[in-house]
Structure 1
Amino acid sequence: MPRILVVDDDPISRQVLKAMLEKEGHLVTEAEDGVKAVKGYDRNLIDLVITDIFMPEKEGVQTVRELMKENPDIKIIAVSGGSSSANYDSLDWIKMFGVKYTFTKPFNANAILAAIDDLLGS
């Protein structure tokens, strides 16, 4: 059963993702910001990370960089709320760090599930 860490400062976004992922049989751990995500990350306990980009304490880009420094093979999906060009730029920019999939909120559940299947080889 794949284990996924969902990182988002918005509790509703975390709840929606958690419910969707658990329905598909994934085990979900939550973190409300990048600080808690990096602190609680254990490569032996987490198969994939889904992180928001804009969060207090530690933003998604910094979170991704720190997680990838610790584990270069980590699988990450980045999401960002809103539709401003800054959000799109951030999502494009984060791909330079090796994030294969990015989504804007509201996201398509089937697209995220397909990305998870691709990353985890399901």
Structure 2
Amino acid sequence: MTKILLAEDDDSLRSFLTAALKRAGHDVQSFEDGDGALTALEREVFDLLLTDIQMPGIDGIELARRGAELDPAMKIVFITGFAAVALSNKANTPAGAKILSKPFHLRELVDEVERVMAA
């Protein structure tokens, strides 16, 4: 079982993703913004950070950078409609971070989590 921190500001998408990941056997904590997610990262160890890029407060890229500083072993996947932003050299995303572009099928998300955690 993978311990996942999910940061997504869209309430319905966050609920949907949380339920799907839990059905796939993962332990998921979800947050509506980067600030709440960062607090959780400072208090607990997670195997995987799944984060949107555009969120209120701390955005997903900054959340990922800070998360990688706190735990370099934590895997990171951006779930975003703004893949070009995450891929930009100026974005300074953590090394090894993966991107899953919205829209995606739930099976794609579950498969990506399994691939990332197996690597």
For residue 64 of structure 1, what is the aligned residue in structure 2? 64
| Mapped pair 1:100 → 2:97 | yes
For residue 21 of structure 2, what is the aligned residue in structure 1? 21
Deviation at 1:99, TM superposition (A): 4.2
Q: Cα–Cα, structure 1 residues 99 and 9, in superposed 2: closer, same or farther, change >3 Å?
A: farther
Q: Percent identity?
A: 28
**Cα distance in structure 2, aligned partners of 1:95 and 1:106:** 24
Instruction: Structure 1: give runs of 5+ residues left out of the alignment.
Output: 82-86
Q: TM-score, normalised by structure 1?
A: 0.84
Q: Cα–Cα, structure 1 residues 96 and 40, in superposed 2: closer, same or farther, change >3 Å?
A: closer
For residue 84 of structure 1, what is the aligned residue in structure 2? none
Deviations 1:64-97 (A, max 9, x none): 111011111211110113xxxxx23213135842
Counterpart AA for 1:110: R
Q: TM-score, normalised by structure 2?
A: 0.86
Counterpart AA for 1:32: E
| Mapped pair 1:53 → 2:59 | no
SS state at 2:112 partner: helix
Query: Does the aligned pair in 1 maintain the 2:64–2:93 contact within 8 Å?
Result: no
Q: Cα–Cα, structure 1 residues 96 and 55, in superposed 2: closer, same or farther, change >3 Å?
A: closer
Counterpart AA for 2:118: G
SS state at 1:77 partner: strand
Q: How many residues align?
A: 115
**Cα distance in structure 1, aligned partners of 2:53 and 2:96:** 12
Instruction: Structure 2: give runs of 5+ residues left out of the alignment.
Output: none
Query: Does the aligned pair in 2 maintain the 1:3–1:47 contact within 8 Å?
Result: yes
